Structure 1
Amino acid sequence: AFPVASMDPADATRMLDARIGDRSTYQRRAVQDLVALCRGLPLAIDIVAHRIATSPGAPLAEFFEQLSDERRLLALGDHGDGGDGSLKTVFSWSYRALRRADRRVFRLLGLHPGPDISIDTATALLGVPRAAALDCLDLLVAAHLVEQPGSLRRYRFHDLLHDYAQECAVSDEPEEQRRAAEVRLIDFFLHTAKEADAVAFPYRPGVPVPPPVEGVVPLQFGHDREAQGWVIGERANLVAVLDLAARRGLHAHVSRLAHVLGDMFRRCGYYDEARFALVMAIGSAQVEGDLDGEGAAYNDLGLMHLRQSAFFEARKCFHLAHGIAQQLGEPRGLASSLHNLARVEVAEGRVDRGVQLYEQVLCIARGSSPMEPEAATWHRLGVLARERRNRVDAAAHLHRALELRVAMNNTTGQADTLVELGELHREQGELHVAEQYVRRAVELHRGTGVREVVARACARLALIRRDRGDVVTATLHARQAVRLYDRIGDSLGKAGALTLLGELRWRARAFAAAEEGWEQAFKIFSDAGDPRAPGLADRLALLGGDRAVPAARSVRWSPDPSDSTGRRGPA
């Protein structure tokens, strides 16, 4: 067996430098590219260096361009141009030394498109009992064909061995068997993701999916934290499997998996992955002629745009979703798309129009099941009433939203409404009551990884502690809010938290740090055309130096975009 341990980039670079001599001195970028291409594998570096030596006048960049195709890199040396043999030849020694059944396991593992694989995923891919899969994987570890760099529950190929395993699958495994293995793999992720979604969002209807194919046993989760942890651990693999399903034309799988993953990704702050999944879902739904799936994907994609203040794109998606819901006569889709269009109207300053749309939602959704469109609308009406200083209506609307969300066991929605109730009491000077509400929200999501809720709660706690005169604790909460908003990609939320953090630092006489935070917040607000930019510009101008502020577009954006009304109900 041939060991495949990788060298770190610095050692790999030194090895290639030593092999090719002076040619590396003035072609550093090409050297770095070649080292990256070899993925730190000493044998690959040795073969590439031998090939470079056979053409002493050629620029190193040309070798990189030629070998960027993994198939050429694997075959380099087969014709005497890479030393004593190619990577493929050396890898084949270990592969051919395996028993027939183990060779099949090796090549089927090559079909997995992600960076690593769990024992549960491998069991589904191979279509064998878990104990048999574990025995085969342990044998491949002993043969240095796969490795376990971290957890004993996960396995990983070296990148070049993964390429070789894929080649073996194409050459040695019948197409029908390859297809069946890929379907088992995709089905495992679909059904396990559905189980995670059901635990995370028990209050809403799940995506309907057919039973798993034979050989697939999806994971079960006992708690929201377990479900969230699985999504976090499989993040890269989920995206890769979604792409694999699309490439194989399994559009029904793509649409279902994308809908299940959209809200799970969003809760983790993985907005890029959520957008990718929803765009894939739209394309697959269109191919399948699945109008309901297409409308749901447009609605959820609109929410992603709304969170990034891309109001034009959000409105376009919601209008498309609303049109499809009208065509289908689907009340839940109508209520959700109208609710989200109302949020766009309010965000852009057309509050009265937004309220009219919210009232239409209540007419459609009141007394329906699920109740979340109604609950989300009461929540938003409560926020508007609070911002208009109508505290009686604000309290009534928010408590109605909380009552509905408790009845549905919607913990994320409960937390959002509790945070808003906390802000309502803070504005009335009832700081102890306000803090109790916000801390209840934090407790609902302790350890779940739902960063959006915790970020908003931290920002509110910072305000409450500031009002109580506790600048030190307020600063800690504000810093945490900045970090969480940054992780989830909520730039306006981050800017709001930076503004507050700057104020707290100024009170603590950390003037330079305060100004730095305000500068960052000003840039974010200014780039977004947010109406908070001029106020920060005035504040910074007083400190010295003028700040140019672009003409602010008409935007009214609440710092707490709390509800998230997708077609299946908010997360």
Structure 2
Amino acid sequence: MRFRVLGDVEMHVGGRPVDIGHARQRCVLAMLLLEANRPLPADALIDRVWTDRPPQRARQTLSGYLSRLRQVLAQVGDVHITRRSGGYVLTVDPHDVDLHRFRHLVEQARAAGDPQTADGLFRQALGLWQGEAFADLDTPWLATARQALDGERRAAQLEHFELALTRGTHREILPALTAGAAAHPLDERLAGVLMLALYRSGRSAEALHHYATLRTRLADELGTDPSLPVQRLHRRILGSGLEAPDIPAPHTPRQVVPRQLPTPARLFAGRSRELAALDRLLSAESTTTVIATVVGAAGVGKTALAVRWAHAVAERFPDGQIHLDLRGFDPGGIAVATAEAVRGFLDALGVPPARIPASTDAQIGLFRSVVADRRMLVLLDNARDVAQVRPLLPGAPGCLVLVTSRNQLTGLVAAEGAVPLPLDRLPAAEARQLLVKHLGEDRVAAEAGAVDEIIGRCAGLPLALSVVAARAATHPSFALRALSRELAETGSGLDALTAGDPHSDVRAALSWSYQRLDPGGARLFSLLGLHPGPDVAVPAVASLTGWPAPVTASRLAGLADVNMVGEPVPARYALHDLSRLYTAELARLDPGSAADRATARDRMIAHYLHTAHAAAMCLDPQRDPIRLGPLPARVVTSGFPDLELARSWIAGEYPVLLTLIEHAARTGLDGDAWRLAWTLTDFLNRTGRWSDQARVFAIAADAAHRTDDQPAEGYAQRILARALARLGRHDEAHARLRTALTLFDGLGDPAGLAHTHLGVAWVHEQQSDHHRALRHDRHALDAFRVAGHPVGEARALNNIGWRLSESGDHQRALAHTREALALCRRTGSRYDEANTLDTMGYVHDRLGEHQRAAAYFQEAIGVFREVGHRDGEANALINLGDTRRTAGDQAAARTAWQAALTILTALDHPRADAVRTRLSQSPFDG
């Protein structure tokens, strides 16, 4: 006789189940089995079975249940239910009850001196569990008992997992370990064991990602950090400080050392007290990240001070310096979002897109993991508020964060212990030093009175002083007194000027300098305010002005010489916030320029739209292009002879394009907003910027809806759905896809419907719902055929072939992929051809036709190589190696895997670890 409670409550005699009655009667038996060979009082038994709702004659009912159970147990003579003074007792051999046998085996395993013996005992004990304890019963008391027993099971599992790590059998336990961690995501001990098992299996990237996920969960749900043992383990994994002699050393991504500090101001003076205060931060002992805030009014020189000091101490931070302009007070109101900021950090640190998780929270965790144990300086410039800064703070000692803002950021001081450094206007002596740097000691000393007047009229603001000094420096024959009088006359003529307003002081200086520009320089400066920022290259400015690029470059350099624009990085120019405000004032003061400004704005947007469209079509020549309209005259655009140049242009202009999309939607240019979003689709997909993609295409969908452009809205909804699915928001993704299907169905657009069905299939695939995925792939195939869209038809056929092979229907899979291949070759779609060849290799491998599979994989490798798709080439090489191994040719398998590893290592791709594992487990015959 055997009794089970670790699963459904059951009784078996001779291996066959015995009926033990209805749920209440089984519940009585379960209570007695839990207390086997110990008395259980009748009142306690009633309370456990019925809790606070016993029947009217509970004791009589209980007596009836016990009588029927005795009849069942009478089939064997050594198990009895008897009544004693202390209550009812079930007399049974504990080894015949799975719970008591489990406990006995666990005790034996813990006492065993031999790891192999202990492993066998743990396996026996855990193998007794058939599911949750008392799975078929539900009472409040049993729910509590079930939770306690689950704790015993988890403790035994953890000890078994830890034993497996000791014995070097970590790969065997990974599936169960991963499932356990998913079921108990806040169990730090379990998380640590999983991290170590992943690391020792050559999957260090997954170990680091699991730590980042754990840290985020603990912070969000409990408001705590991981325990010190888990933190230490994480740091050791990052530093490859763990020993695993039984496997090859895991791949550690190359450590990129970012050097992002902007060019420091060429002429800088004063601020010795503030610089000394910053220096003292370097000697401060801290167990957390050191944070300092430089706060003050606009134009007071916060950025100049921070950049100057950062350059001076850069060598103290050998692991790099990161800089980000958060644009917290951008006149256009478009500050940098957290998702955009943290993704920029990860890119700067060299984290490859394939290793970056989808959610922003996970990306923050990864950023903090990557910079742990590094000495880095992080400069966050122009922060709007504490909420914008806090997610971007490293979480470990060794880093120093310098934040500039017009706000006081008292929350950082109170909660994070930031050191505040208020910055006021330059004292007269330091303002004089700045003018000396610009004009020389002799010239300043010769007109001391005029210098005092200039300092007073500029109110000690470095930006205003620099603008005036630059004007004086370019005209060495001008008397400083004459310049002072001109400045006074200009300032008194501005209605907006009020004493003590730093904006007004700078505006006076800008106005004075602007009025002395030549007509070309003045027009260029006023038009630059139309660019949404953060910075701009010469071709875009040439389109804005309508001038040839060389003329534009020369005039931009002239504005930089007189400090009317900055050049934060070579060949890219930027307006200071206050300069941008002043250009807006110029537009208001000159209504007659409205038409010229509108035309200039249209040219600028056309530059970005046409150039981005060319880059997008270079990234994927098989895309269905969109109609852009005629290119306006005098717009400078660029073509892209190769994929790398196209990718480089989009990456360089990406912050501008993001800002421009938001700016266009805010200013009524809805058509431009969704078209610009369209150009970013492939770049966002290939770089895994799912949060940005969701934000951009939500804007695009709304913009298209406002203009009643239903095809555009359908497209935007489809791409938005992909991003939402990547972020784990599958229900929202399906809702967006339903909207797209409705739109394309109403339009009678079969191609749009087909693409959307492919999108629905893809989301179902992410949810492991392969049946629904196959159904929508078939809908897509039918719609592509109606539309006469052979490229889409080939993609749908290939998808169907893959899914059929996955379900074991290999012959039908081959029929679909052969048809897809013919279409690819007829249309010249080489990338789709390579994918289809790879699928055909997979199908033949599943059929056991390894030589034919290898031939298809080799052909796919050649096409992937031709189109420059390195990731696809590596994947096909892995498949080739797998089929060679199955065919028994280990040498050829190793050759293919090694070629794949070379590519994946160059890409810093996470699949490289899996290939290393293949190589380490494959015998080497050479």
CA distance in 2, matches of 1:451, 1:357: 29
Which of 433, 437, 453 pairs up with 2:855?
A: 433
The letter for the 2-side match of 1:438 is A
**Alignment partner of 1:297 is 2:560:** no
Matches within 5 A, 1:338-377: 338-366=757-785, 368-377=787-796
Matches within 5 A, 1:60-459: 64=405, 66=407, 77=425, 84=455, 85-93=460-468, 94=470, 96=513, 98-143=517-562, 154-157=571-574, 161-173=575-587, 174=590, 176=594, 177-307=596-726, 310-366=729-785, 368-427=787-846, 428-430=849-851, 432-446=854-868, 453=872, 456-457=875-876, 459=878
Aligned to 1:550: none
The letter for the 1-side match of 2:528 is L
Q: Is the 8 A contact 2:425 2:461 kept in 1?
A: yes
Q: Is the 8 A contact 2:690 2:723 kept in 1?
A: yes
The letter for the 2-side match of 1:319 is R
Aligned to 2:413: none
Alpha-carbon displacement from aligned partner over 1:278-299 (angstroms, at most 9, x marks no partner): 1110111122222221111111
**Alignment partner of 1:31 is 2:292:** yes
Aligned length, in residue pairs: 469
Alpha-carbon displacement from aligned partner over 1:467-506 (angstroms, at most 9, x marks no partner): 65354862663585488586xxxxxxx5x76555445445
Q: Note the C-alpha offset of 1:375.
A: 1.4
CA distance in 2, matches of 1:112, 1:343: 38
More helix by percentage: 1
Q: Note the C-alpha offset of 1:274.
A: 3.0
Shift in CA distance, 90/14, structure 1 to aligned 2, threshold 3 Å: closer
Q: Is the 8 A contact 2:798 2:816 kept in 1?
A: yes
The letter for the 1-side match of 2:858 is Q
CA RMSD of aligned residues (A): 4.3
Shift in CA distance, 17/350, structure 1 to aligned 2, threshold 3 Å: closer
Q: Is the 8 A contact 1:275 1:304 kept in 2?
A: yes
Q: Is the 8 A contact 2:758 2:796 kept in 1?
A: yes
SS at match of 1:31: strand
CA distance in 2, matches of 1:62, 1:442: 46
Shift in CA distance, 310/508, structure 1 to aligned 2, threshold 3 Å: farther
CA distance in 1, matches of 2:582, 2:897: 59
SS at match of 1:106: helix
Q: Is the 8 A contact 2:744 2:750 kept in 1?
A: yes
* The 10-residue stretch of structure 1 (238-247 or 343-352) with the greater mean CA deviation from structure 2: 343-352
The letter for the 2-side match of 1:166 is R
CA distance in 1, matches of 2:403, 2:678: 44
Q: Which runs of 5+ in 1 are unaligned?
A: 47-60, 487-493, 510-571
Q: Is the 8 A contact 1:459 1:497 kept in 2?
A: no
* The 10-residue stretch of structure 1 (377-386 or 173-182) with the greater mean CA deviation from structure 2: 173-182
Q: Is the 8 A contact 1:109 1:165 kept in 2?
A: no
Q: Is the 8 A contact 2:294 2:404 kept in 1?
A: no
Alpha-carbon displacement from aligned partner over 1:381-417 (angstroms, at most 9, x marks no partner): 1111222343333333223223223333333322322
CA distance in 1, matches of 2:733, 2:536: 36
Shift in CA distance, 354/181, structure 1 to aligned 2, threshold 3 Å: same
Q: Is the 8 A contact 1:197 1:206 kept in 2?
A: no
Q: Is the 8 A contact 2:750 2:786 kept in 1?
A: no
Shift in CA distance, 350/17, structure 1 to aligned 2, threshold 3 Å: closer
Q: Is the 8 A contact 1:474 1:504 kept in 2?
A: yes
**Alignment partner of 1:41 is 2:304:** yes
Aligned to 1:58: none
The letter for the 2-side match of 1:290 is D
Shift in CA distance, 454/117, structure 1 to aligned 2, threshold 3 Å: farther
The letter for the 2-side match of 1:437 is E
CA distance in 2, matches of 1:138, 1:121: 15
The letter for the 2-side match of 1:278 is F
Q: Note the C-alpha offset of 1:193.
A: 1.8
CA distance in 2, matches of 1:276, 1:89: 38
Alpha-carbon displacement from aligned partner over 1:146-180 (angstroms, at most 9, x marks no partner): 566766xx3233xxx53233123112244625444
Shift in CA distance, 498/19, structure 1 to aligned 2, threshold 3 Å: closer
Q: Is the 8 A contact 2:817 2:840 kept in 1?
A: yes
Q: Is the 8 A contact 1:43 1:87 kept in 2?
A: no
Shift in CA distance, 87/417, structure 1 to aligned 2, threshold 3 Å: farther
Larger radius of gyration: 2
Q: Is the 8 A contact 2:265 2:308 kept in 1?
A: no
Q: Note the C-alpha offset of 1:206.
A: 1.6
CA distance in 1, matches of 2:430, 2:718: 54
Aligned-pair identity in percent equals 22
CA distance in 1, matches of 2:880, 2:776: 32
Q: Note the C-alpha offset of 1:326.
A: 1.7
CA distance in 2, matches of 1:506, 1:14: 62
Q: Which runs of 5+ in 2 are unaligned?
A: 1-261, 310-401, 410-420, 432-454, 471-509
Aligned to 1:561: none
Q: Which has the higher contact order (CA 8 A, sep 6+)?
A: 1
**Alignment partner of 1:474 is 2:732:** no
SS at match of 1:405: helix
Q: Is the 8 A contact 2:661 2:696 kept in 1?
A: yes
Q: Is the 8 A contact 1:197 1:227 kept in 2?
A: yes
Q: Note the C-alpha offset of 1:41.
A: 1.2
CA distance in 2, matches of 1:249, 1:330: 27
Aligned to 1:542: none
Shift in CA distance, 505/114, structure 1 to aligned 2, threshold 3 Å: farther
Q: Is the 8 A contact 2:745 2:753 kept in 1?
A: yes
Q: Note the C-alpha offset of 1:122.
A: 1.5
Q: Note the C-alpha offset of 1:30.
A: 5.7
Q: Is the 8 A contact 2:791 2:823 kept in 1?
A: yes
CA distance in 2, matches of 1:34, 1:482: 44
Q: Is the 8 A contact 2:754 2:784 kept in 1?
A: yes
CA distance in 2, matches of 1:426, 1:254: 47
CA distance in 2, matches of 1:316, 1:333: 17
SS at match of 1:327: helix
Q: Note the C-alpha offset of 1:377.
A: 1.2
Q: Could you state the TM-score of these two structures normalised by the residue count of structure 1?
A: 0.69
SS at match of 1:181: helix
Q: Is the 8 A contact 1:107 1:165 kept in 2?
A: no
